Structure 1
């Protein structure tokens, strides 16, 4: 009997206790959950920062807090000054008297421009027409730019300066419009890659000159580049291509609105 009891005791001592292994699994699970919640918290913080940045951007875009406050978000500090941005007001349709006055002003403008062009012997390089759209001057390429260049020629400065002085006598809007022929652009400027871009840059250069040197109101101007897509004649001869390379200055007539 004593030997049997001794064997049983030895057997109990040699058998390991497996009852505590679940603690290891439990601790691993708790650790994973902790890591998971840390990651989720970090992501929510980043998204919150992005959302706050979006709210700030919207607030700046709308130049005020009324819209955001109406959505339940707090406004900005009223003591901080925001830059003043002019608001474009809707233009009222011109009255009949205003249309007549505008027509008289454009007629007088046409006479002045025509006189200057004739007296300066610019007829071969500058043409002038009155259209339903307004008074349009067309400058052939050679008087303003070298071939494939967007840099104004030195000789163009006195011509544009004189014309800018005449344009200052009327308040009408002015459109500067660049055109090219269909020969692919092969200039050396890295920021110009096509005729479209060349025509736009040329129009912008003319506009900038008139604004800077003649002190004309920038709000009167816009420029556009049409590239090769609005030719006046077919691009079938060198002479015709030269006619298509041009810059128009259009003094816009008061538009008739319904």
Structure 2
């Protein structure tokens, strides 16, 4: 009994405390979940904005990727854009065009249509004028006599009428801009035929390569060709050609020979009348402020005493 009384009494007490500490692993899991949902919705958006044909191409690529890589074709990543559409309306396969771009394209198409229509009208007028002048030369005995000296051609610039010189029948006195009587008849008839022309006209004078004695220091083939072109202009206007239809009157001297292999040939001395197309008019006379490349035509041409035969 004494031993039992000496045994110690053990009392167990449980201490209650707070929850154990934990880390931020749940935040990482939540971020992964949000990222996955964002990727999912982005995938749904891409699938909804991609055309059916391209979806089939993507499926075919994943079904047999080596086939596209080896044989090429759509679906091998050769597109410059993942989404062919774009804009506010995702149902558009080829994308939406901004209003300004659409208006610009419409304006360009309108300009091209106007130019094409104007070119068609020019071609019709030039063909009609060519037939009119051909008939005039054929039916007029006086002009038919000089038919070998009148050349009519359709060029990219328009209808070109050239009156060329002849060794035995020159258009001007040698070294002078005085029009011969038969040349006056030709110019008057052509001027009357050009009375109702709608297009602008270019007039050019040409000489051969025979130089003047002191042409480098004074009056030369440049002045002579310009004076002959201006003399021809007066005859054409006197016959009824509208003066306001003249786009330019130039002297080209021997810079544009008809027979380059024979620089002193009589045919190099000529007057060129060109009924310009609208496109040629814009190209030749579009720059109004460009400096003149040839001397200005004078009103009259003196007869020189130191000239060399020809010109």
Q: TM over 0.5: same fold?
A: yes
Contact 1:145/1:152 (8 A) holds in 2: yes
Quick one: which of 218, 239, 251 aligns to 2:244? 218
Larger radius of gyration: 2
Aligned residues: 161
Greater helix content: 1
Normalised to the residue count of structure 2, the TM-score between the two structures is 0.47
Match of 1:109 in 2: 129
Please give the secondary structure, in 2, of the residue aligned with 1:231. Answer: coil
Stretches of structure 1 that go unaligned for 5 or more consecutive residues are: 1-91
Residue 146, structure 1, aligned to residue 173, structure 2: yes
- After superposition, the Cα gap between the structure-2 partners of 1:215 and 1:115, relative to the gap in structure 1 and judged at 3 Å, is closer
CA 237–253 in structure 1, closer or farther in 2 if over 3 Å, else same: closer
Q: Determine if the alignment matches structure 1 residue 99 to structure 2 residue 125.
A: no
Task: Confirm whether residue 208 of structure 1 aligns to residue 234 of structure 2.
Answer: yes
What is the alpha-carbon distance in structure 1 between the residues aligned to residue 182 and residue 201 of structure 2? 23
Name the structure 2 match of 1:70: none
Deviations 1:74-130 (A, max 9, x none): xxxxxxxxxxxxxxxxxx995322221221111000111122233432221111100
Q: Distance in 2 between matches of 1:117 and 1:185?
A: 35
Q: 1:143 to 1:130 in 2, by over 3 A?
A: farther
1:149, distance to aligned residue in structure 2 (A): 1.6
Paired with 2:237 and 2:263, the residues of 1 have a C-alpha distance of: 36
Cα gap change, 1:197 to 1:233, in 2 (>3 Å)? same
Q: Which residue of the partner structure matches residue 175 of structure 1?
A: 202
1: CA distance between counterparts of 2:224 and 2:117? Answer: 41
Normalising by structure 1, we get a TM-score of 0.56
Mapping 1:1-258, distance limit 5 Å: 95-119=115-139, 120-121=143-144, 122-141=146-165, 142=169, 144-185=171-212, 193-214=219-240, 216-234=242-260, 236=262, 241-255=265-279
8 Å Cα contact 2:199-2:245 kept in structure 1: no
* Unaligned runs of at least 5 residues, structure 2: 1-110, 284-311
Q: Which deviates more from structure 2 when the two are superposed, residues 217-226 or residues 127-136?
A: 217-226
